[in-house]
Amino acid sequence: MSNPARTDQTALRSTLHRRGMRMTPQRQLVLDAVREMDHATPEQVCRRIQHTAPTVNITTVYRALDLLEELGLVRHTHLGHGAPTYSVEEHEHVHLVCHRCGGIDEVPCEMLDGLARSLDEQRGFALDASHLALSGTCRDCRETDAGTADPPATADGKEPT
């Protein structure tokens, strides 16, 4: 079985070489941090890297992320307010963001095929769901809410006895 990190490192090195660039330790650290953290902001990536390489600064991280995205190795997504998050470009997916707990889940873009067809047929709009984040309430938060919900009031506004 091959080591995915080693394969990524080799692929990144050869891609950079073809473009006349070189592999730097900082670029590798950024890619490794994004892979390990999944859905991390540039600031989170920088903090992670600074545990082992304290001289790496946020500007270096942003530049590396821009290059890695240009090379198709990472992708950014806006999951709401604030900085974009980065993840390794392994498969196209839609992000489900819980507005209660902040949890992030992924589902295949194909789950939106019906919506994509409707938008195309009715509006002539071609949906690119790969950068999409949907906001809602996750199962765990909904179950917690259901367990703590107040009992419904009666017609006269009083709680049932």
Specify whether the CB–CB gap between 93 and 108 falls below 8 A.
yes
Q: Can you state the percent helix, strand and coil of the chain, rounding each to 5?
A: 50, 15, 35
| DSSP codes, 83-141 | S-EEEE-SS-EEEEEETTT--EEEEEGGGGHHHHHHHHHHH-----GGG-EEEE--HHH
Tokens of 1: 């079985």
138 has binding-site annotation = yes
46 has binding-site annotation = no
141 has binding-site annotation = yes
98 has binding-site annotation = yes
The residues, any chain, with a CB within 8 Å of residue 104's CB and separated by 6 or more, are 39, 79, 85, 95, 96, 97, 98
Q: Give the annotated binding-site residues for Zn(2+).
A: 98, 101, 138, 141
Q: Give the annotated binding-site residues.
A: 98, 101, 138, 141
